[in-house]
Amino acid sequence: MHNHFNGLKTAALFGAIFTLLLLVGYALGGSMFMWIFGLFGVGMTAYTYWNSDKLAIKAMRAVPADPQQFPQMYRIVQELSQRAHQPMPKLFVSPTAAPNAFATGRNPEHAAVCCTEGILQLLDERELRGVLGHELMHVYNRDILTGSVAGAIAGIISSVASIGLWFGGRDRNPIAAIAVALLAPVAAMVIQMAISRTREYDADEDGASLTGDPLALASALRKLETGVQNAPLEPTPELQNASHMMIANPFRARDVSTFFSTHPPMAERIARLEGMAGGPRLH
């Protein structure tokens, strides 16, 4: 799998975003600030990673899924977890009509999978199985760690670039300090978005391999693209921080430009899945 070398791309992007963090520290305060920012980045990343499940679940106002109320969801996740020889994650349902799903948690032993009421109503069982396979692979591929690191460091870069401008950066090199304060946050965001998109491709491919049915996920993504536009979420700060975990961008297309999108274009994801199947589309 991973025909598109996404693992290598992610490693390179991580190197780029951490290097950017160190350069911001050096440009604004010299070598001492560079290492202080580096250590601060590690600390904030650890906190975000450890609490990623609580933060995302809270943002979506999700509650534990009742096995009797959502037997289909339980049955599918239990089957796929056993197939992957992994522990059963906790299941949650978010009371929102916006169709979406996400997985979170620091490892398979502390994982959670959440579906919105909207996606449970929109998809048939085969399509839901494709979506849940995708979400489980985010857990198994340790994508929660990947997203937490990228998001935490990008946030730190944005904060320290602004703070550093007023505490010492202007005295060292005013032009460089202003340039860093303006450009570093944008560069960090672009790198974060690129990391998120590569992980979505991997989860699509590996999830389709887990279920053995790439056309089911392709069909689900096609429905989700329309469903999200009909029932989008408001891009609040809490939801923006959690949006990279979701299988589909939860906001209106006009609210998030393609350049800064955390998700690859749906048409490309669908085309790759159909290419895996080598057969006709699922209708």
Q: What is the pLDDT along the chain (283 residues), one digit of tens a residue?
A: 444 444 565 566 566 666 766 666 666 666 666 566 666 666 666 666 666 667 778 889 999 999 999 999 999 999 999 999 999 999 999 999 999 999 988 788 989 999 999 999 999 999 999 999 999 999 998 887 767 666 666 666 666 666 655 555 545 556 656 666 666 667 666 766 766 788 899 899 999 999 999 999 999 999 999 999 998 888 777 777 677 788 998 887 655 444 456 688 999 999 999 999 875 454 4
Give the residue numbers annotated as catalytic, written as ranges: 135
Q: pTM (2 decimals)?
A: 0.76
User: Would you state the pLDDT for residue 104?
Assistant: 87
What pLDDT was estimated at residue 221? 97
Contact predicate 111/103, CB 8 Å:
yes
Provide DSSP, the chain.
--TT-HHHHHHHHHHHHHHHHHHHHHHHHHHHHHHHHHHHHHHHHHHHHHTHHHHHHHHTT-EEPPTTT-HHHHHHHHHHHHHHT-PPPEEEEE--SS--EEEE-SSGGG-EEEEEHHHHHHS-HHHHHHHHHHHHHHHHTTHHHHHHHHHHHHHHHHHHHHHHIIIIIHHH-HHHHHHHHHHHHHHHHHHHHHHHHHHHHHHHHHHHHHHT-HHHHHHHHHHHHHHHHHSPPP--HHHHHHGGGBSS--S-GGGS-GGG-SS--HHHHHHHHHHHHTSPPP-
Cα angle: 26, vertex 160, 176; to 5 degrees: 45
CA quadruple 180, 185, 191, 192: dihedral sign: positive
Amino acid letter at 175? I
Burial 220-251 (b: 16+ CB within 10 A, else e): bbbbbbebbeebbbeeeeebbbbbbbbbbbbb
